[in-house]
Copies of this chain bind each other. A is one copy, B any other.
Amino acid sequence: MINEEQQKKDERYMQMALDEAHLALEAGEIPIGAVVVCKDRVVSRAHNLTETLCDVTAHAEMQAITAAANTLGGKYLTECTLYVTVEPCTMCAGAIGWAQIPRIVYGAPDDKRGYHLLAPHAFHPKAQVTQGVLEDECRELMQNFFKAKR
């Protein structure tokens, strides 16, 4: 059960992830953003850059994990929470598992490419997952992007 204070914090950090997603959108990228928080301190923020970098591995979560490890000076993010606007894919879920991130918060589900479907046991077995934070905003951003592409 998440208390009201935690809920407010989650929304604040998810809004930061959404701000990152907007930066992706402005760059012509699929609008997904991520933020890593360690003890109430933002240690990294990133957005999807697969087109810009010509690199399928440049998802928001991957970059946020790499940057957080750099900031903290250790590759295991065992005291961190990852906020991401859309449910992580198989690749990102695998990276989240390797980094031993104990809490993952995401906005909108991804019923096609989400880890739930393709890699449901990728996270650390004790990891806590919270979904649906600012879900409507996260989903709308994606839907508008794909509508405009058609």
Identical copies in the complex: 2
In the complex, chain B residues whose CB is within 8 Å of the CB of A99: 56
Q: A50-B75, A118-B121, A119-B118 are in contact. Are A57 and B90 (CB under 8 A)?
A: no
Report if A28 contacts B (CB, 8 A): no
Residues of A within 8 A of B (CB-CB), count = 29
A57 in contact with B65 (CB, 8 Å): yes
Contact with B along A10-46 (1 / 0, CB 8 A): 0000000000000000000000000000000000000
Interface centre among A51, A57, A75 (most CB of B within 10 A): A57
Segment at the B interface, from A1-9, A66-74, A126-134, A140-148? A66-74
Cα A113 to Cα B54 with chains together (Å): 28
